[in-house]
A and B are shown apart, each in its own frame.
Chain A
Amino acid sequence: METRSFKKGLPKLFMHLRSQPIEFVLFLCASFSVVILLLMLLFVVMEGSLAFTRLGTQLILGQMWKTNSDLYGGFPLIYGSLMVVSGALLISIPLGICTSIFIAEILPFQLRDPIKSVIELLASIPSVIYGFIGVTFLAPLIASIFGLQSGATAFTASLILAIMVLPTIVGVSGETISAVPIEYKEAALALGASKWQTIRNVILPLSKSGMLASVMLGFGRAIGETVAVLMVAGNVAMVPTPPWNYLAPVYPVTAVIAMQMGEAAVGSLEYSALFGLGLILFIITFAVNTIADVIVRRRPVGRSVQL
């Protein structure tokens, strides 16, 4: 038998693979996604490079996005994205964390799994369905409540996104709550702590980092969402006045890319600017997901008692 230590790195791995045809095939399959990721990144960088060299920081800081006049200032779009996503998180964080605490600590045992599955089901609804519920139901409702001409606003998009990221937040923070060792809960309860005191003083402090991670994963999901957002955000490439006016339409980055890519001539500045925006989006999502990953991995909850 051959020893399977790959500690000596890639050269050793390749030597090993050469003698094992089946494992070589598996290796090819496994490499596929990594290679695709790198190729995609390369492609986006190449296509976007024209915009970065010609527009420089204008692509991020420029105030005007007008394709007819060849103005590609991405600021209102990036602002729109961040506005919609922060609005969504403002709603879904309290809602999601309260839900996960309720499910993990208060709901009777028999009901936990069914309720969890129902919430997970939210994640399996195609985003276009969220979009048209937003268009046909939510937008008119918001228009009539606030007396607006159109209900397609940043607020509408935030509401839709809040529901879409709820399963992520509930799922991940629920997991961290369940990961709190039962010994700590018992210790608190045996001292006469009530359920709520145990949650607040023992469970929440121990699940903080996992909850933070759940929020970041939710952020990553929300900022990348396209179809539902472009259907309800109103799509006006301007920073609202005043800038915190959630009842104004915005044009998030993903919506711009989806709407305008089809019309942009390949190789044109517009085409490249859209890729540039895509790259910015990619970097934001990548950074946030990486941070969330790091937090989840070093969470101190399961630390065992040293004897």
Chain B
Amino acid sequence: MVNDAKVDIRNLNVWFGDNHVLKDVSFKIREKAVTAIMGPSGCGKTTLIRAINRMNELICGCRTSGEVYINGHNIYDGNINVYELRRKVGMVFQKPNPFPKSIYENVAFGPRIHKMANGREIDEIVERSLREAALWDEVKDRLQDSAFNLSGGQQQRLCIARALAVKPEIILMDEPCSALDPAATTKIEALIRRLSKRYTVIIVTHNLQQAARVSDFTAFLYEGRLIEYSDTKSVFENPRSELTKNYIAGKFG
């Protein structure tokens, strides 16, 4: 279905201790599109996207098998530089988690640790990233304010700007709106649509309407298995699997 794959996941299995969380998941993710991963709580959605930037291995007792190819390279190969991988694959978390620093320093953090720029160039990166995250106009006069003085939605957009600042190719979003009010959610969803013109966005959500609104492709995950994966329209209008049909109809979840 997807030929120009940015991310190609093959036979991915993840265990936490004895708990087999992801079971033989294989699918391809299209470049410069939004792919939603939906499913009930505990089905392995978060684990799946954290396998794409190798964040799972920070958790004690985690074991992974299978391959994840990004741009044709298996990121689980021994010679992969995991810091460079995580620069290329940005992540936005469920709860906005800006650092307890100024707005400016939050965005400058990534470019600084990767020594991508200095002085004025950092200023430019900060401005560009904040503009891209649709936050610049709201904060341009108070860049030195603490990030905690922003509203929840603004904090989440700041986290998106922080991820954009290191020039990623892929952006992983783990239920980015679940802690936000509807107005802030609308803004973030519009932002996600815009970002997909330049980035490959993979978003986890257990909000069906959100998946329908923002994504081009939708994967349905249930108990660690990939049940259905197709373009969003067919998943919602014409689900092949009985499970997907029931989930979309709200019979469980």
Contacts and interface: CB of A to CB of B under 8 A. Distances in A.
Interface of A: 109, 181, 183-184, 186-194, 197, 201-202, 206, 300, 303, 305-307
A187 B161 CA distance: 13
Given A109-B60, A305-B155, A307-B152, A191 B163 contact: yes
B86 A190 contact: yes
Contacts of A183: 93, 95, 97
Nearest to A198: B113
A197 B97 contact: no
Given A191-B109, A306-B152, 18 more contacts: A183-B93, A186-B97, A187-B99, A187-B159, A188-B113, A189-B55, A190-B53, A190-B91, A190-B93, A191-B86, A191-B90, A192-B85, A192-B86, A192-B114, A194-B113, A202-B99, A206-B100, A305-B96
Nearest to B179: A307
A18 B30 CA distance: 76
A186 B155 contact: no
A300 B148 CA distance: 12
Interface residues of B, number: 32
B97 A305 contact: yes
A149 to B, nearest CB: 54
B97 A187 contact: yes
Contact of B58 (A184, A189, A305): A189
B157 interface: no
Given A303-B100, A307-B179, A193 B90 contact: no
Contacts of A109: 60
B178 to A, nearest CB: 11
B86 to A, nearest CB: 4
A193 to B, nearest CB: 5
Across the A-B interface, the 5 shortest Cβ-Cβ residue pairs: A192-B87, A183-B97, A307-B152, A190-B91, A192-B86
A221 to B, nearest CB: 30
B163 A192 contact: no
Contacts of A303: 100, 148
Contacts of B152: 305-307
Given A191-B163, A305-B155, A306-B148, A184 B99 contact: yes
Nearest to A185: B58
Interface of B: 53, 55, 58, 60, 83-87, 90-91, 93, 95-100, 109-110, 113-114, 148, 151-152, 155, 159, 162-163, 166, 179-180
A202 B91 CA distance: 17
Contacts of B83: 192-194
Contacts of A186: 55, 58, 93, 97
A284 to B, nearest CB: 33
B95 A305 contact: yes
Contacts of B151: 307
A183 B53 CA distance: 16
22 contacts: A181-B97, A184-B100, A187-B97, A187-B162, A189-B55, A189-B58, A190-B55, A190-B86, A191-B86, A191-B90, A191-B113, A192-B84, A192-B87, A192-B110, A192-B166, A193-B83, A201-B113, A202-B99, A206-B100, A305-B148, A305-B155, A307-B96
A229 B163 CA distance: 54
B99 A190 contact: no
Nearest to B159: A187
A287 B53 CA distance: 49
A187 B93 contact: yes
A183 B99 CA distance: 9
Contacts of B163: 190-191
Contacts of A206: 100
Contacts of A184: 97, 99-100
Nearest to A300: B100
Nearest to B150: A306
Residue from A181, A187, A206 having most chain B Cβ neighbours under 10 A: A187
Contacts of A191: 86-87, 90, 109-110, 113, 162-163, 166
A194 B84 CA distance: 10
